[in-house]
Structure 1
Amino acid sequence: MNNNNDLQKRKEMAIAAGQKNLFPRYIDKAKNAEIWDVEGARYIDFCAGIAVTNVGHCHPKLMAAVQQQLRNFTHSCVMINPYESAVVLAEKLNELVPITHAKTVFLNSGAEAVENAIKIAKAYTKRSSIISFVGAFHGRTHMCLGLTGTYKPYKEGFGPFPTGIYHIPFPNKNYGITVEDSLNKLKSLFKTTVDPSEIAAILIEPVQGEGGFHIAPNTFIQELRALCNLYGILLICDEIQTGFARTGVFFAVEHSQVEPDLITIGKGLANGIPLSAVVGKEEVMDAAKSLGGTFGGSPIGCQSALAVIDIINEENLCERAFEIGKICVDHLNKLKDRYPEKIACVRNLGAMIAIELVHNGSFEQADGASTKKIIEHASNRGLLLLSCGMEGNIIRLLPPLTIEYETLHEGLTILTKTITELFST
């Protein structure tokens, strides 16, 4: 029988060193919010494959849809012989996004979605430059790395990056950056470095993902929309990690009541089957005359995504995301009250939940070492967690939205014991 240690050794011999794995535990099977490794050990999953399995592992309705499609056919390329599921899914996405008169293009990954959103924006505006944000993460392709506002570990050794990309501060009151500060930096950029007439788009995550689960104030997104309208700039919302009910609505930008021009989606779209999309205003989308790829909009991915949308609606998972967030935040704030010098902040938008660890209660003194220890020790107790943030000092909780409440509380109990053990010694 295979064991974790042997498989890890084989992996290190066979797979490039850059494609690391956080946990040396090899999954054998999974159900909803639980995972079992090849040695039979059980884990509670607070990662969801990085906000992918929002409707849980192996949801019966989703599995049935995928299995039926496997019996029919696996591939023909939507650009050669299309199929009804792709049309139906595009129609549903066009209705779900907070964009009037929308159209969709299907791709494979989040990075591909961002790449194509930039292509579309440039084709429509006939402009060449893009504004992104410090702390942003938009993918690992070369253009996406240029757009990403964090150097290590993503950009190190891969430069130079595409030109015409500008980064401004992301508003964050905890770090002393107000909405006005960010807007003033943007206006200063227009005065000193690049004219607004050269900017094709502003690209923003409504909640920064890898950057630390920092939530863009609604007023900031509204102000960006106004500036984009003033200068003929497109507003692109990267909803790859925030989409599909994760924040309590289908798309996080809905909280601001702003209509973006383009939205990039992936991850939770098909719950683990590779599929992504750009959805945007019809006139903008139709400006790009060549889009697509061999596997974009795969029939298996489309059927999976249709099942995901049905499950979210039928099981009220948007509402459930708020409930999960409240349970987690209420629980974690008790820890914050107990360890105010170590836990600077507990924050969430729906079921995107973050715990920021610091020294001496100061946001300026990030505690990445404790974050790493807690994640490691929690995994030894049967709870899988992820970190994020530019200093690696933020624990993020991303449980499946279908998680049983008993399992959620079990996971939170493990986390409490782990944190208490570390901070009480």
Structure 2
Amino acid sequence: MDFPHVSASLGIVHPLCVEHGRNAELWDEDGRHYVDFIGGIGVLNLGHGHPAVVEAVKAQVDRLMHSAFNALPHRGYLEVAQALDAFVPVSYPLSCMLTNCGAEATENALKVARAATGRQAVIAFDDGFHGRTLAALNLNGKVKPYKTGLGSLPGPVYHLPFPSRDNDVSTEQAIHALDRLLEVELPADEIAAIIVEPVQGEGGFRLLDATFAAHLREFCDRHGMALIFDEIQSGFGRTGRRFAFTHLGVEPDLLLMGKSMAAGLPLAAVAGKSRFMDALPKGGLGGTYSGNPVACAAARTVMEVMSEARLAGWSEAQESLIVATHARLKERFPMVGALTGVGAMRGIVFNDTAGASGAEHLAALLAAGREAGVLLMPSGRRRNVLRLLAPLTAEPEVLREGMARLERALATLTP
């Protein structure tokens, strides 16, 4: 399918045009049916068109479609801020700013960290992803395609290896790299913040080592830095809990949220301790569309629906199916490697074989899966990790059908 008048710089994973969706199912303009394992790249944890969200959005449209909060406040923004204070499991009162997208939340987190500390440098991690705006790009731990051809990016930013049970980097290696950074590159009193994903998204659904997370918490406390957790993709229930940082036993100073926060409408947030969030002068934060009333209505409903019990039940059911399916696929297909992630945030690594690289195997699977009626998404530095992002609310029979279609698609690639 061609996309006239659309910039050729946009990378299209699946050359089709979707027409309508229902929970974990999609139909394209030709009427073809698909099981959706992409979920808007982590946006649709509650599925396409969750009834409670649709009802709330329709009611809000009839009352007020927009007001720029920093000019004329509206109740929806205030209610979302209050709901986040209850929904985010931290031990301190939450101060927040709503934004339009995750990258904007990242940019504002950098602003408040700089203002609060009087410093500029930031530490990020290999294979991390924090957005596509210029400052966010420099945080990303991957050059192609995000940084290619752009020259110097806002900084200074320094990258460390990301320790995880899902890769070959140990906590000891990461701590050594951090110590080396302070000895060779810059002093601690020039670092404003450390930003990290508790579970890497674009990096291949890898869970941060909990011991290293505790080390980062102590390190930031000791040196007066902000610890920023980016939960734009892992938050709002993806791992079976409201936020993935609870798997690590460590609280952030600033938390980035987005994607599934408003079930498909553009809304994100940066939130955290008031000593960071209040550091800029009045007027230093804001935005025309940030905290749009319709998106706020969706977000309030999302938080109402996402009870702890529901999240745990949805995640456990999906995780058990993924684990069982992966074991079968690994036994049957030589290119299928390790399972990464936690809860329902899972990735499947595709290994190199004599005939093709893991990335080539996965690229072929995306096309074969589309033909079989299941929509899939790659991740990882080498684009060799299949990320599974089906809605948490997907009906069991639809999930099983999606997995069956995935297995049939793999079978077409194997002699």
- 1:271-290 equivalent positions in 2, closer than 5 A: 271-289=263-281, 290=284
1:198 and 1:388, CA in 2 relative to 1: closer, same or farther beyond 3 A? same
1:366 and 1:390, CA in 2 relative to 1: closer, same or farther beyond 3 A? farther
Q: Could you tell me which residue of structure 1 aligns to residue 338 of structure 2?
A: 345
Q: What is the TM-score normalised by the length of structure 1?
A: 0.94
* Partner deviation per Cα, 1:129-180 (whole Å, 9 max, x = no partner): 0000010111100001111010001111112111310001111455431111
Q: Could you tell me which residue of structure 2 aligns to residue 3 of structure 1?
A: none
1:249 alignment partner, SS class: coil
Q: Could you tell me which residue of structure 1 aligns to residue 304 of structure 2?
A: 310
Q: Could you tell me which residue of structure 2 aligns to residue 183 of structure 1?
A: 175
TM superposition shift of 1:421: 2.7
> Is 1:114 the counterpart of 2:106 in the alignment?
yes
1:93 alignment partner, SS class: helix
TM superposition shift of 1:317: 2.4
1:152 alignment partner, SS class: coil
Q: Could you tell me which residue of structure 2 aligns to residue 265 of structure 1?
A: 257
Aligned-partner Cα distance in 1 for 2:151–2:260: 30
1:14 alignment partner, SS class: coil
TM superposition shift of 1:210: 0.6
From 55, 76, 83, give the equivalent of 2:74.
Answer: 83
TM superposition shift of 1:366: 5.2
TM superposition shift of 1:231: 1.1
From 211, 223, 235, give the equivalent of 1:219.
Answer: 211
Aligned-partner Cα distance in 2 for 1:287–1:24: 45
Contact 1:56 1:403 in 2 (8 A): yes
2:206 alignment partner, SS class: coil
* Partner deviation per Cα, 1:7-58 (whole Å, 9 max, x = no partner): x43x2x2111112321121111111011111111111000000010110111
> Is 1:411 the counterpart of 2:402 in the alignment?
yes
Aligned-partner Cα distance in 1 for 2:125–2:114: 19
Aligned-partner Cα distance in 2 for 1:77–1:97: 25
2:297 alignment partner, SS class: helix
Contact 2:87 2:303 in 1 (8 A): no
- 1:249-398 equivalent positions in 2, closer than 5 A: 249-289=241-281, 290-313=284-307, 316-339=310-333, 341-360=334-353, 367-398=358-389
1:150 alignment partner, SS class: coil
> Is 1:152 the counterpart of 2:138 in the alignment?
no
Contact 1:54 1:402 in 2 (8 A): yes
From 11, 33, 41, give the equivalent of 1:50.
Answer: 41
What letter is aligned with 2:298?
Answer: S
Contact 2:378 2:387 in 1 (8 A): yes
Contact 1:109 1:276 in 2 (8 A): yes
> Is 1:143 the counterpart of 2:135 in the alignment?
yes
Contact 2:241 2:308 in 1 (8 A): no
Aligned-partner Cα distance in 1 for 2:8–2:413: 30
What letter is aligned with 1:252?
Answer: A
Q: Could you tell me which residue of structure 1 aligns to residue 195 of structure 2?
A: 203
Contact 2:335 2:361 in 1 (8 A): no
Contact 1:323 1:350 in 2 (8 A): no
Aligned-partner Cα distance in 1 for 2:308–2:257: 21
1:356 alignment partner, SS class: strand
Aligned-partner Cα distance in 1 for 2:337–2:48: 33
Contact 1:136 1:210 in 2 (8 A): yes
- 1:156-167 equivalent positions in 2, closer than 5 A: 156-167=148-159
From 97, 118, 134, give the equivalent of 1:105.
Answer: 97
1:316 alignment partner, SS class: helix
* Partner deviation per Cα, 1:105-135 (whole Å, 9 max, x = no partner): 0110100000000101111111110000010
1:174 and 1:250, CA in 2 relative to 1: closer, same or farther beyond 3 A? closer
Q: Percent identity?
A: 38
* Partner deviation per Cα, 1:317-341 (whole Å, 9 max, x = no partner): 24311321121111111211233x4
Aligned-partner Cα distance in 1 for 2:240–2:404: 24
1:401 and 1:257, CA in 2 relative to 1: closer, same or farther beyond 3 A? same
Give the aligned CA root-mean-square deviation in angstroms: 1.5
Contact 2:137 2:147 in 1 (8 A): yes
Q: 4+ runs of 1 displaced by more than 6 Å?
A: none
Aligned-partner Cα distance in 2 for 1:91–1:195: 38
1:323 and 1:305, CA in 2 relative to 1: closer, same or farther beyond 3 A? same
2:58 alignment partner, SS class: helix
1:118 alignment partner, SS class: helix
Contact 1:45 1:383 in 2 (8 A): yes
Aligned-partner Cα distance in 2 for 1:71–1:110: 27
Structure 1 residues without counterparts, runs of 5 or longer: 1-7
TM superposition shift of 1:315: 7.3
* Partner deviation per Cα, 1:197-251 (whole Å, 9 max, x = no partner): 1111000001111111111111111111111111111100000000100011111
What letter is aligned with 1:352?
Answer: M
TM superposition shift of 1:360: 4.8
What letter is aligned with 2:345?
Answer: M
From 226, 237, 248, give the equivalent of 1:234.
Answer: 226
